[in-house]
Each structure stands twice: as C-alpha cells, then as structure tokens.
Chains A and B, each alone.
Chain A
Amino acid sequence: MTSYQLASVVGRRARAARLRRLLRGKLVLVAAGAVVALVVLAAVFAPLIAPYDPNAVDPMAVSQGSSAAHWLGTDDTGRDIASRLLHGARPSLLAPLVVTVGAGLVGTALAVAAAWLGGWWDRAITAVLDVVFGFPGLVLAVVGAAVFGAGLKIAVLTLTIAYLPYVARVVRGSALKERNLPYVAALRMLGLGGGRIVLRHVVPNLLPLVLVQTATAFGYTLLDVAAFSFIGLGAQPPTAEWGLMVAQGAPGILAGAPQESLYAGLAIVVFVVACSLLGAGLSQRLTGGER
C-alpha cells in the first residue's frame, strides 16, 4: 500500500470520527439550545402569540382534533390546547427555574462553606444534607401539602429543599479540590483574607460547574413539577400547566381524544431532553479541556 492510499484509508476513518464528534458536540448542542430558547421565547410572549385566551371555554367546540381554528385541537371544555400549552409554559418553566436557581444558590453557599470551614462545620452541614437526601422529593411534597395545603408555591419550596443536596454534594467535592490547589495557599500567603479568596477566586472558579449542574437539573425539576401537578400537589385548576394538562387530558385518552395529554406530554419530553443534552454539552465545554 502506498502512503497515498494509506492516507486515504486513514482519512476515511478520520472523517467518520469527525462526524461522530460533531454529533456528540456542536450540532446537538445548537439544536438543544434552539429548542430551549424557542420554548422560553414562547413562554415570554405567550399572550402575544397565543390565538385564544387559555381559559376561554367554548361549549360548541369540545374535544376537537386539529383544525385551522384550533391547531392542536381543544380540550373537554373547549379550551384551545395550543393557547394553553403556550401559557402553560410560563408556570411550567418558571417553577423549575425558581427551584434550580434557589437550590443552586443555597446549595453552593452551603457546599463552599462546608469545604472552606472544614472540621465541625463540614460534618454538620454534610450530615444535614444527607438527612434531606434520604427523603424522596415526593415524600417531602406530600408532607408540605399536608401541612400547608397543595399548591405550586409549596411544591416549589419542597422541591428546592429536595434538590439542595444534589447540588451541594457535587459542588462540595469540587470546592474541596479547589481549596487544596496551590493557588489558594499562595493567595493566603500573599496576605489575602479568607472572604476575598472565597468570593473572588474560589466561587468564580466553581461557577461553570454550578451552571452545568443547574442546567442539567433544570430538566429534571421541570419533570418533577409536572409530576407534582399531575398528582394534584402542584398547580391547581384552572391554571394552564403542562403536568396538570396531562392529568386533565387523561380521561380523553380512552374517549378517543388524546390530544391534550399527548401534546402536553410531548412538550415536557422534548423540553427535558433538550435540557439534559444542553447540560451535557455545556459540561464538556465548560469543565473539560481547561488546561
């Protein structure tokens, strides 16, 4: 085999490898980002683009399939499903956003405090987080609903608490590693105070990790909020919310009108998948290949 032929064989192999990398990398990241951005835009501009009032009942058009008037059909009280999906994106996205941002902030603060202070503080914070970790989010939500009554706010609060340990565990591990890097010792020796080192050096260096964690968690929290609403512990009727829509459309599935559950379910699945792909892609870009 001449070296030219050889190069072409190797070249073919390299092209295949490039394609695989592309699929793993940029293309998917861009597509996932586009889906997420589109849904967010839809949620923000829902009142402008939704063709109907999401709560407008039309007894003349109950449980209809797709038509020119109602693209995605209507539900069992004649409300336009497309409009309800668009409006429903708002609580469906906002609730998990509050959960992830809240859990991200508090979780990071606790994790960094534990790692930096070490000793007794570390043991205490870790022990509390472990206890919370032991409770499934659902159990917390049921307890919350039993005490304060069911509602989206309570669901958000309990989920925030449930997600804290997930964030805190990962961040604490990295914060410990960060604290033991020579640059922290160097800054201490240079006379910089602990607060400044933590806030200006350690935390900014942990931010990419926190961002990736919350981006990945966002999809799952959305799923959880939807699940809470589905079982009646989250958003309450007549609010338009995806999880609630899946539940409300459920009887229709047997009656031959699956559109409400179907489209709400699809919205959840597509968005969650896009979120986790985006999170995975970001994690490669932000935390890999630093050096």
Chain B
Amino acid sequence: MTTATVPLLEFDSLRVTLPLGGTQRTVIHRVDLALAAGSAVGLVGESGSGKSLTARSVLGLLPEGARIEGDVRFDGASVPAMRQAELRTLRSRHAAMVFQDPRTHINPLRTVGDFLTEALVSVRREPRAQAEAKVVALLREVHVADAERRMRQRPSELSGGLLQRVMIASALAVEPRLLLADEPTTALDVTTQAEVMAIIDEARENRGLTLLFITHDLALAAAVCDRIAVMYAGHLVEELPARRLVGDAAHRYTRALLASRPDPTVPDARLRAVDGRPLSAFEAGPGCPFAPRCAAAQELCHRERPEPRAVADGRAACHFPHAVDPQAVDLDAVDPHAADTERTAR
C-alpha cells in the first residue's frame, strides 16, 4: 500500500483453527484482504471455503475454542485482542451483520417494532418515541411500504424478502460504518434477491458504507461489489476488480466457477463442470488446494503451495494462472484503489 490511509477493515495473514472431532483443525489457512472505507468487496466461495468464518471473525463471533493467528483489524484496532466490552461497542456501533436466514435471528413472539427499537432503547438509551420514529424512517429507507403497520406485525406475518429488509433496517439502525452480509439472499427467490440486493446497494451508496458481501454466486457479487475475493478450502486464491472478473480472472478455480454458471440467455453457452468436490480447509494437502480438481495442474502444483502474486491490478495464488490478455487491462486502473475512488466519487 502506498498511501498512509488505514483500511477500515483488514485481514492480516488470518489463520483460524477450530476443535473438530477431537483435534484442532484448520478452517482458514490464510486470508490477506483490505477493505478501504466506502468500498464493497465480495467474498466468494463454496461450502468449506471458510468465507462465513472469515466474516464472523470481524465481529468476534467465531465458535468456542477457535484459535486465531494473524490479525483482523477494524479501523486499525485488533479485533481478536478486544475485550468483551470493546467487542460489544464494535457490534453495537460500528459494524453490523445481515444473515442468510432472518427467521433464526429474530424472536418470533415479538413484534417487528420491538425487535427494531430494542437495541436503540436498551443499549443506546434513546427515548422510545424517538427510537420508533427513527426505525420507521429506516423501514422506509429500505422501501418497506406501510412501515407503521409492519412495526406492529410479528415475523411470521412477513415474507422472507420483507423480513430480510427488516434485518437490513436493523443493521442500519446502529449507523454502522461496515456492513457484513452473509449470503443475505441465498434463501430467497431470484426476483426477491434482486430487490434485496438493490436495497443493500442503495443503502451503501447513500450512507457511504463499507460492505463485505459473502456469497457463493460470482455474478451476484460482481454486480454489487468493486472488488471480488475468491476463497477455496480456507485460502484466499484470487482478488481482482469486479469488472475484470469475467474477462481476466486468472486463477483456475475462479475460471472454473464462472464456467459452472454460464449466462442462461446466451444461446449455446457451454456448461463446463469441474470434477471432484470442494475441499474443506483441513483437507488441503501441501500443494495448491485446488490442484486435485484442476485441469491445468502440473507436478509443481501438488507439491508446493502457490503464494499470492500480483496479476494486473489483482492477485492470484496460482502457479500457472490463466493468461491475461494485456489489451484487456485498463491502464488507468493499475492503481489498486482506483476502483474504490471511482466508486466513492460518484
């Protein structure tokens, strides 16, 4: 990094092990990633990639017995070193999370209004009337029609898409600087997914939020993020600007993922499958974790783990990266933060 500005969120050689089946198993091998304030990064991966645990480490929400090496820094402060009180402040004022299944994160017996105002009234000691007015405004901001009526309803009376908007409103209520969205639309239909993502995108733009978006869907991540980080078996294997994803992804795994989900409206788009199954982090051998499934793997790939190397204005941990067409690289985008400034300047 050339500038002196501190990233809002930074993963510094993050490594996490968890006690599973009697032994301490690695669930995240190594994640290095920096999110500049106001940027949106999509953390993409399949099951076992460690993407959700990476997101949880930001809020100190790792399971019991987790051991952390390396560091996660929020605005320069080490999260693993924080005491409980500091963690609570972080969660209640600076960073908020939206989860995959809203129904498991809301008390079904209490009204939406109670749920939304609770933190404001009990933690921030705001007067109830003021909290309610604020929350109604928030519901309107996430385009919930008839906000006053919704406040009096219970979660079971709301559809999945509407409930996820309530969860987004509750995340915005703490006026966070960082929004973590962990597969927020995976349980939703495509049309609802588009709406919810549009709302997250809009809130981010209006409030200058920094977004870490966890998903298994590359195309979805590319649509709402400035940069894409791809994880496989606990490793961050590639990181690049979202707009270069389809054309210039260099890591073989990223390319394989793209080929697994071709555009359905392009006639004769070929569906190319990768053999094998996604590995869990602890199953990764000494070499490249993707080598057992990679068509381009050589002897070196099985023996030696590739270090992340700069590829154009991104980086990829691959011994034999997919050749990037030099013509396709924007010359003015070589500065790694060009994408971010472009985004915030709008």
Establish whether A and B are touching in the complex (CB under 8 Å): yes
User: In the complex the two chains form, is B70's CB within 8 Å of A17's CB?
Assistant: no
Cα(A18)–Cα(B80), bound, Å: 19
CB of A269 within 8 Å of the partner chain: no
Residue of A nearest to B71 (CB): A3
Is A6's CB under 8 angstroms from B80's CB?
yes
CA of A17 to CA of B65, assembled, Å: 6
Q: Are B81 and A7 in contact (CB under 8 A)?
A: no
Closest residue of B by beta carbon distance from A8: B67
Q: Does B69 contact A (CB under 8 A)?
A: yes
Q: Across the interface, do A14 and B67 meet the contact criterion of CB distance under 8 Å?
A: yes
B259 within 8 A of A: no
The reply on A1 being an interface residue by CB < 8 A is yes
CA distance A179 to B78 in the complex (A): 50
Looking at the complex, which one of A10, A17, A18 makes contact with B68 (CB distance below 8 Å)?
A10
| Docked complex: B77-134 residues within 8 A CB-CB of A | 78, 80-81
CB-based contact B65/A11 at 8 Å: no
A1 near B81: Cβ-Cβ < 8 Å: yes
**B19 CB within 8 Å of chain A:** yes
A7 and B19 contacting across the interface, CB-CB below 8 Å: no
Question: How many chain-B residues does the 8 Å CB contact rule pick out?
Answer: 12
Knowing A3-B70, A3-B71 are in contact, say whether A14-B65 is a contact too (CB < 8 A): yes
Residue B66 CB within 8 A of the other chain: yes
Q: Chain A contacts of B146 at CB under 8 A?
A: none
Whether A6 touches B65, Cβ cut-off 8 Å, given contacts A1-B81, A14-B19, A18-B19, is no
Quick one: closest B residue to A4, CB to CB?
A: B69
The distance in angstroms between the C-alpha atoms of A17 and B19, with both chains bound, is 10
The B contact surface, by secondary structure, is strand
Q: What number of residue pairs across chains A and B have CB atoms under 8 A from each other?
A: 28
Does more than half of chain A's interface fall in helix, strand or loop, or is it mixed?
helix
Taking CB atoms, residues of chain B closer than 8 Å to A18 are 19, 65
Map CB proximity to B onto A5-41 as digits: 1 under 8 Å, 0 otherwise. Answer: 0110011001001100000000000000000000000
A27 to chain B, nearest CB (A): 14
User: Which A residues are in CB contact (< 8 Å) with B275?
Assistant: none
Q: Is A11 touching B67 in the complex (CB atoms < 8 A)?
A: yes
Pick the contact of B69 from A1, A3, A14, A17 — CB < 8 Å? Answer: A3
Q: Which of A230-275 contact B (CB under 8 A)?
A: none
Kindly state the separation between the CA atoms of A17 and B71 in the bound complex, as whole angstroms. 22
* Chain A residue contacts of B299, Cβ below 8 A: none
Which B-chain residue is minimally distant from A15 (CB atoms)?
A: B65
Q: Which residue of B lies closest to A10 (CB)?
A: B67
Q: How far is the CA of A10 from the CA of B80 in the complex (A)?
A: 9
Residues from 1 to 51 in B contacting A, C-beta threshold 8 Å: 19
Instruction: Output the least CB separation between A81 and chain B (Å).
Output: 44
In the complex, A233 Cα to B71 Cα: how many Å?
A: 69
B80 touches A17 (CB 8 A): no
B268 at the interface (CB under 8 A from A): no
Point out the residues of chain A lying under 8 angstroms from B64, CB to CB.
Answer: 17
| A3–B67 CA distance with the chains assembled, in angstroms | 11
- Interface 1/0s, chain B 51-76, versus A by CB < 8 A? 00000000000001111111100000
Q: Given A3-B69, A6-B78, A14-B19, list of 12 further CB < 8 A pairs?
A: A1-B81, A3-B68, A6-B68, A6-B69, A6-B80, A6-B81, A7-B67, A10-B67, A10-B68, A14-B65, A14-B66, A14-B67
Top 7 A-B pairs, shortest CB-CB distance: A1-B81, A14-B65, A17-B65, A10-B67, A17-B64, A6-B80, A7-B69
Question: What residues of chain B have their CB less than 8 Å away from a CB belonging to chain A?
Answer: 19, 64-71, 78, 80-81
* 27 A-B residue pairings within 8 Å (CB atoms): A1-B78, A3-B68, A3-B69, A3-B70, A3-B71, A6-B68, A6-B69, A6-B71, A6-B78, A6-B80, A6-B81, A7-B67, A7-B68, A7-B69, A10-B66, A10-B67, A10-B68, A10-B80, A11-B67, A14-B19, A14-B65, A14-B66, A14-B67, A17-B64, A17-B65, A18-B19, A18-B65
